[in-house]
Homo-oligomer: A and B are copies of this chain.
Amino acid sequence: MATITLKDLASKLNLSTATVSRALRDSYDIGAETKKRVKELAKELNFSPNPNASNLRSQSTKTIAIVIPEIANNFFALAINGIEEIAREKGYHVLIYLSHELHTKEVSILQHLLNGRVDGVLMSMASETENIDHINELIKNKIPLVFFDRVREDIDAAKIVTDDRFGGFSATKHLLERGCKKIAYLSLSSRLKNSIDRFNGYKDALIESALEFDSDNFIDCGNDNKHNFSLIYKLLTRKNNKVDGIFSASENLVLLTYQICKELNIKVPQQLKVITFSNSPTSSFLSPSLSTITQPAYDIGKEAASLLFKSIEKKKVDYSDVVKVLKSNLLIRNSSS
């Protein structure tokens, strides 16, 4: 480190550190000439205040944290994109933490965020998480917090989500319109609000078409892919009550489905039509047999970040269950188009 400090600047300019500090922050009561001299030298020496010292003094860190279940998932990647963009505009830095869908990791991550390392937290819950003490602890500590996508209703914090009920409804409708009569729903987690909402939309669509919901067609997937595999395998090999359509709440589950179809020699979409929530550009482009429904991930990231900064800047933490729903942007890509 060059380790050039305010003091260095001050001595070189025959000024006090106080004056230099104020000049750099454009304080009102500093001579224009002095300001100029200070700023010039600062630029020349490539000076920039030590963030730890500055943060310590000002009790603010100019950094936020993103806590997400995974990253090799286009939805979260795109959301990060949006978040980073807003953070950058506001001069904030972004820490990233992955829970890998594990409750224990999530707890330990939030634990680390209690001590003033960040000014705010953006979070999407792990599918495994049931107990939410760790989240309430964060809230109790008055750390601004905004949830996005993966939320639960019983958490008292701001939330940005898509209209998942509508998404589930549309996706199911899509299959119905293409002739499906027996549609299975691959759930992401029976705990997460968005998975439940998608399910409710799915049921609504069935009812609207005067079809009955068959609880055998609700496949309660989770975090364990081996288990998911066997659940889907069972679904596709059962003798009675065969399905002709699958609506998957997650792209990951579709990969398993396709793998199994290949094994069982089930033709998609001739014998089985599939639609999935997905944010990967590749799947929609490259796979002619798959229909997708896409969330406005980038916008969700931006909205969530904006809301967080609003909450940080007001210094008044507004946790009054601000649920913002992005509805307009759900995009269905037809497999045949």
Task: Chain B residues near A289: list those with CB within 8 A.
Answer: 286
Q: List 12 A-B contacts (CB under 8 A).
A: A46-B137, A48-B112, A48-B115, A52-B56, A52-B61, A70-B81, A71-B81, A84-B97, A251-B282, A254-B286, A259-B285, A278-B282
A63 to B94, CA, bound (A): 11
Indicate if A143 sits at the interface (CB-CB under 8 A): yes
A70 to B74, CA, bound (A): 12
The answer to whether B81 and A77 have CB atoms under 8 Å apart is no
The answer to whether A141 and B78 have CB atoms under 8 Å apart is no
Partner of A282, one of B50, B53, B80, B282: B282
A290 closest partner in B (C-beta): B286
Task: Chain B residues near A1: list those with CB within 8 A.
Answer: 116, 141-143
The answer to whether A77 and B71 have CB atoms under 8 Å apart is yes
Which A positions have Cβ atoms within 8 angstroms of B? 1-3, 46, 48-53, 55-56, 61, 63, 70-74, 77-78, 80-81, 84, 93-98, 111-112, 114-117, 137, 140-143, 251, 254-255, 258-259, 278, 280-283, 285-287, 289-290
Task: Chain B residues near A3: list those with CB within 8 A.
Answer: 116
Smallest CB-CB A-B distances: 6 pairs:
A286-B287, A48-B115, A52-B56, A282-B283, A52-B55, A72-B77
Minimum C-beta distance from A107 to chain B (A): 12
A111 to B48, CA, bound (A): 9
Partner of A114, one of B46, B72, B115: B46
Minimum C-beta distance from A7 to chain B (A): 14
Asked, given contacts A2-B141, A51-B116, A78-B72, whether A95 binds B98 with beta carbons under 8 Å apart, the answer is no
Task: Chain B residues near A95: list those with CB within 8 A.
Answer: 63, 93-96
Residue picked from A112, A259, A278, most chain B C-beta under 10 Å: A112
Task: Chain B residues near A80: list those with CB within 8 A.
Answer: 71, 96
The answer to whether A258 and B280 have CB atoms under 8 Å apart is no
A258 to B114, CA, bound (A): 48
A274 to B137, CA, bound (A): 52
Task: Chain B residues near A49: list those with CB within 8 A.
Answer: 115
Task: Chain B residues near A285: list those with CB within 8 A.
Answer: 255, 258-259
Minimum C-beta distance from A190 to chain B (A): 25
